[in-house]
Amino acid sequence: MVEHTLEDQLILHEGLKLRMYQCPAGYWTIGVGRNLETKGLSRDEALYLLRNDIREITEQLERLGWYRALDPIRQKVIIDMAFNLGLSGLLSFKHMIQALNCYDYNTAADEMVDSLWYRQVGKRAERLVKMMRTGEDYTD
């Protein structure tokens, strides 16, 4: 006779959903019955997800020569933007990318400022623009 783990049993009963859904009781749920409304995520779980997202974004960006040519601070700016906008949203900043290809960080920063994204995200954008211009990490 086959012994099933408790994990197997719970997956059988709850299901395994990789996207949010509403359970029969109407709660937003994910995974194996994780009620996001009443339980949410622990800090460790949230940081685990963040690290996976950073790794995924970085792997995508590493395929781009202009990204690989950047210093670590400016790479951090680009990762942050890709995290916020998605890769396709980041790649829509064509003039910024052209400037980065020429190591023209002031123009790249100007292109960041001249965007809807800049007006939408406030302090985040101000901080990233300063990092792009100076190549120095944020202090506030």
Q: Please say if the pLDDT value at position 2 is more than 90.
A: no
The one-letter amino acid at 84: N
Query: Do 67 and 106 sit in the same domain of this protein?
Result: yes
Match 């086959």 to its residue by tokens: 2
What's the token pair of residue 25?
């009781």
What is the percentage of the chain residues whose pLDDT exceeds 90? 96
Which domain does 30 fall in, by range? 6-35
E-assigned strand segments in 13-114: 17-22, 28-31, 34-35
Query: Do 48 and 74 sit in the same domain of this protein?
Result: yes
Q: Please say if the pLDDT value at position 140 is more than 90.
A: no
Burial class (CB in 10 A: 0-12, 13-18, 19+), 65: exposed
Per-residue pLDDT tens digits for 9-21: 999 999 999 999 9
Query: Do 83 and 27 sit in the same domain of this protein?
Result: no
Query: Do 74 and 29 sit in the same domain of this protein?
Result: no
CB-based contacts of 95, cutoff 8 Å, min separation 6: 107, 111
Query: Do 66 and 13 sit in the same domain of this protein?
Result: no
**Confidence label for 69 from pLDDT (cuts 50, 70 and 90):** very high
**Confidence label for 126 from pLDDT (cuts 50, 70 and 90):** very high
Q: What is the mean pLDDT of the chain?
A: 96
What is the percentage of the chain residues whose pLDDT exceeds 70? 100
